[in-house]
Amino acid sequence: MNMTHYMELLAVNQPWNLLIFMAIPIVLAETLAISELYLLFTRNFTGWVQQLNRVCGIAVGLYFVGVIAYLLVNAVVPITKAGEWRTAIDVIAVGSYLIGGLPLIYIALQELGWVNARASAEHQRKVHAICVALFLVFGHIGMITGMLDPTLFASLEAMGYGGMSGMTHTP
């Protein structure tokens, strides 16, 4: 079966790549999302749930700094230089995964007081919630497209539905 680079990354070097690139960041991010919902619904911004939210926000943001840097150097740049993207589906899957980490990095920067330090607590909570939502959207786009057969778009191109110039596909 043909697979995107996203799925290939998760499938090779079992179980380590799955743990490093999926399990650890997703457990932290989902804990962040769930605790965020709890805080927003209860309006109880003190206590252990707030501390868990803060710790997860910092940890997952800093974790994604490393993941993004590693994948840019070891995957995105070499794949791009070699012209080995497997259609737009592949680019969307990898790109969405990487873009999804950016709002989490912003959360970490905010929690550390490096951005929005002078903003009101309410404004910081809004930014925090928006960043969690952005991560969920981009993360799920990455996961869904990552599971597609990258040659799906190549099949559409062959049927005359547009071009994917500059991208190759592996049969």
Long-range Cβ pairs for the range 134-138 (8 Å, 24+) = 134/100, 134/102, 134/103, 135/29, 135/33, 135/100, 135/101, 135/103, 135/104, 136/33, 137/100, 138/96, 138/97, 138/99, 138/100, 138/103
More confident residue, 55 or 160: 55
**Domain region containing 71:** 5-148
Look up the pTM and report it: 0.86
What six digits make up the tokens of 123?
Answer: 């404004």
More confident residue, 14 or 110: 110
Contacts of residue 58, defined as CB under 8 A and 6 or more positions apart, other chains included, come to: 107, 108, 111, 112
CA dist., res. 111 & res. 97, Å (int): 22
Model confidence over 9-64: pLDDT tens digits? 888 888 999 999 999 999 999 999 999 999 999 999 999 999 999 999 999 999 99
169 in a domain, yes or no? no
43 in a domain, yes or no? yes
Q: Which contiguous run of DSSP H or E holds residue 46?
A: none
Amino acid at 157: E
118 in a domain, yes or no? yes
What six digits make up the tokens of 34?
Answer: 């769930």
- CA–CA distance from 110 to each of 72, 115, 134 (Å)? 24, 5, 15
- At 100 the pLDDT is 96
CB burial of residue 24 (10 Å; 0-12, 13-18, 19+): middle
Domain count, the chain: 1
Phi, psi of 13 (to 5 degrees): 55, 45
> Cα 118 to the chain's mean position, in Å?
28
Whether omega for the bond prior to residue 25 falls within 30 degrees of 0, making it cis, is no
168 in a domain, yes or no? no
31 in a domain, yes or no? yes
Confidence grade of residue 171 (pLDDT, cut at 50, 70, 90): very low
Model confidence over 78-99: pLDDT tens digits? 999 999 998 899 999 999 999 9
Confidence grade of residue 164 (pLDDT, cut at 50, 70, 90): very low
- At 167 the pLDDT is 52
- At 5 the pLDDT is 87
Q: Which residues pair with 86 in a beta bridge?
A: 168
Q: Does residue 118 have a pLDDT over 90?
A: yes
Q: What is the mean pLDDT of the chain?
A: 89
156 in a domain, yes or no? no
